[in-house]
Amino acid sequence: MDSVSHILVIDQGTTSTRSIVFDSDLRPLASAQEEFPQIYPHSGWVEHNPESLWATALGTARRAMQQAGLRAGDLAALGIANQRETTLIWERATGRPIFNAIVWQDRRTADRCEALEVAGHAALVSERTGLRLDPYFSATKLAWMLDTVPGARAMAEAGKLAFGTVDSFLLWRLTEGAVHAVDATNASRTLLCNIHTGQWDDDLLRLFDLPASLLPEIRDSAGIFGHTSPALLGGPIAIRGIAGDQQAALIGQACFTPGTVKATYGTGGFVLLNIGAEARPSRHRLLTTIAMQRKGVRSYAFEGSIFSAGASVQWLRDGLGLVENSAETGQLAENADANQPVYLVPAFTGLGAPHWNAHARALITGISRGTTKKEFARATLESIGYQTRDLLTAMLADFGQVADDLVIRVDGGMSASDWTMQFLADMLGLMVERPAYKETTAMGAGYLAGLDAGLLPEPEIFAGTWTASKRFTPAMAAEVRDRKYRGWGHAIRLATTVEDDADHLSL
């Protein structure tokens, strides 16, 4: 095999960064992973140190290459997948960030989003971007930094600052400032990109009071972005593929055909349904987003976001100390008392689609004297199935006709739990498929990079190579499924009244 046929992928996630080396058939050869700290300055605020993002990206890339026994000259392409919506600003002259990265989970701009909605701007935002006025997205985070960091707005107006999502920041650092760009999938998550034209929107820039000089150039997801600085990885490597993590997972799961669905369960949970070449609006409070752009041609997806999936299990472990490791939860859930109707609504940072309530807070209902950590674990894992059903019900209502043999392809850390995936199949009443290689986010970015490098086949051929490692078939009786889901609906209604109750108690 020609040695210049390997692909390096940097997969920069919410709690850790992983780098993987693939061969020319997209088989993983080596990987390295490193966690970084989460910063919580106030309730509902989440930040990352940008230097931690960069250090873990560069460090894991170097270690993965070393483990694979490869040098820069052996790599045909580098791909990047990244946590989306997370917002950074840095000085153009020095590359130094002016503030911590404000993470996609952060809710500090909820009041600003509500004010814009009350002022009647929601329809414009939705029509142009496919998104909602919600602090989840980048624009209000960006405006907050300009208005809060001393001197930032004046520097931005003078063209001295650069904005980027994490892919843009890594691209800038990898090229030592030579390239300020963003791929179309990440651009579509900022509230500033017109997804119909694939360009930044002047009306939206005025709405959020943001200077255009901050913005990176929007480019294809598969295409040449530039080359790494030779000093960083031992030589120049062509950067050929970039996608936001959820779109990268959609690609890695080979969901290229309209009507195919993937669900990723990491820190959060994200369900995407390929809707094809037309950016159709959602009538059920979902998002329309760019799924991929290649040679200037875009495909789109409906998306629903669960803000807390794996983060809920982390809370059981780190916040409550009920388990020592996440793997224990499946066994606890299996041994829980099924007759206790305990529900966890994990609205630790509000509720995502289709509820979109930034002020909802987490709660647990149905606790009795006999409730133990087993029932807590079960309620936590079941919340994944309930939230996914909320999303998929809305998604299929928007999409219309779907195949009779619809399946859900799953990935992410929580997909390793057989108990959770079986409950997901039971609650959806659909088959769930887990892929042979679970790191589909990295695989998607690797596919984009390898496709542009000429190493990998066109999407329709690549889709034929996808294989499942396990399938989960629904086994729950319909009446049980519906009864449990009605209980979830009651718990959701309670969670959305927590804000009012909290205001009353604080008086």
pLDDT at 268 over 60: yes
Cα separation of 74 and 80, whole Å?
A: 18
With both helix axes pointing from N to C terminus, report the angle between 418-428 and 373-399 in degrees, rounded to the nearest 10. Answer: 40
Identify the residue with better confidence: 339 or 61.
61
What pLDDT does 499 receive?
Answer: 54
Mean pLDDT of the 323-334 span: 87
pLDDT at 252 over 70: yes
What pLDDT does 354 receive?
Answer: 87
Q: Which residues of 206-243 are buried (b: 16+ CB within 10 A; e: fewer)?
A: ebbebeeebbbebbbbbbebbbbbeebbbebbbbbbbb
DSSP H helical segments within 305-439, as ranges?
Answer: 310-314, 328-334, 373-399, 418-428
Cα separation of 177 and 411, whole Å?
A: 34
Mean pLDDT of the 395-422 span: 87
- The residues pairing with 188 across neighbouring beta strands, listed in sequence order, are none
Mean pLDDT of the 319-331 span: 87
Q: Give the CA count within 13 Å in the CB-facing half-sphere of 264.
A: 30
Cα separation of 48 and 101, whole Å?
A: 5
Cα separation of 24 and 218, whole Å?
A: 28
pLDDT at 349 over 90: no
What pLDDT does 298 receive?
Answer: 96
Q: Is the Cα dihedral 191, 194, 195, 198 positive or negative?
A: negative
Q: Which long-range contacts (CB under 8 A, 24 or more apart) does 148-157 make?
A: 148/99, 149/89, 149/98, 149/99, 152/89, 152/98, 152/99, 155/91, 155/98, 156/89, 156/210, 156/211, 156/213, 156/214, 157/211, 157/213
Mean pLDDT of the 491-505 span: 67
Mean pLDDT of the 449-456 span: 95
Cα separation of 131 and 286, whole Å?
A: 8
Cα separation of 439 and 436, whole Å?
A: 9
4-17 pLDDT tens trace: 789 999 999 998 99
pLDDT at 256 over 80: yes
pLDDT at 286 over 60: yes
What pLDDT does 290 receive?
Answer: 97
What pLDDT does 506 receive?
Answer: 38
Q: Is the pTM of this model over 0.85?
A: yes
Q: Looking up tokens 């043999």, which residue turns up?
A: 405
Q: Is residue 410 helix, strand or coil?
A: strand
pLDDT band at 462 (very low <50, low <70, confident <90, very high): very high
DSSP H helical segments within 119-267, as ranges?
Answer: 122-129, 138-148, 152-157, 166-174, 184-187, 202-208, 230-233, 245-252
How many other β-carbons are positioned within 10 Å of the β-carbon of residue 334? 15
pLDDT at 425 over 60: yes
What pLDDT does 459 receive?
Answer: 94
CA distances from 51 to 48, 78, 183 (A): 9, 21, 22
Q: Looking up tokens 């979830």, which residue turns up?
A: 488
pLDDT band at 327 (very low <50, low <70, confident <90, very high): confident
What pLDDT does 371 receive?
Answer: 92
Q: Write the CATH number of the domain with boundaries 310-388+477-505.
A: 3.30.420.40
Residue 25 exposed, middle or buried by CB count within 10 Å (0-12, 13-18, 19+): exposed
Write phi, then psi, for 20 (nearest 5 degrees): -135, 140
pLDDT at 205 over 80: yes
What pLDDT does 505 receive?
Answer: 37
Copy the structure tokens of residue 486: 């009605």
Domain range list for the chain: 310-388+477-505
What pLDDT does 321 receive?
Answer: 87
Percent residues over pLDDT 70 in the chain: 97
Cα separation of 264 and 440, whole Å?
A: 9
Q: Is residue 409 helix, strand or coil?
A: strand
What pLDDT does 360 receive?
Answer: 84
pLDDT at 503 over 50: no
pLDDT band at 314 (very low <50, low <70, confident <90, very high): confident
DSSP H helical segments within 212-307, as ranges?
Answer: 230-233, 245-252
The whole-chain average pLDDT of the chain stands at 92
169-201 pLDDT tens trace: 999 999 999 999 999 999 999 999 999 999 999
CA distances from 122 to 84, 119, 141, 323, 368 (A): 21, 8, 17, 42, 43
Cα separation of 15 and 152, whole Å?
A: 28
pLDDT at 91 over 50: yes
pLDDT at 358 over 90: no
Q: Looking up tokens 């889901």, which residue turns up?
A: 485
pLDDT band at 403 (very low <50, low <70, confident <90, very high): low
What pLDDT does 504 receive?
Answer: 41
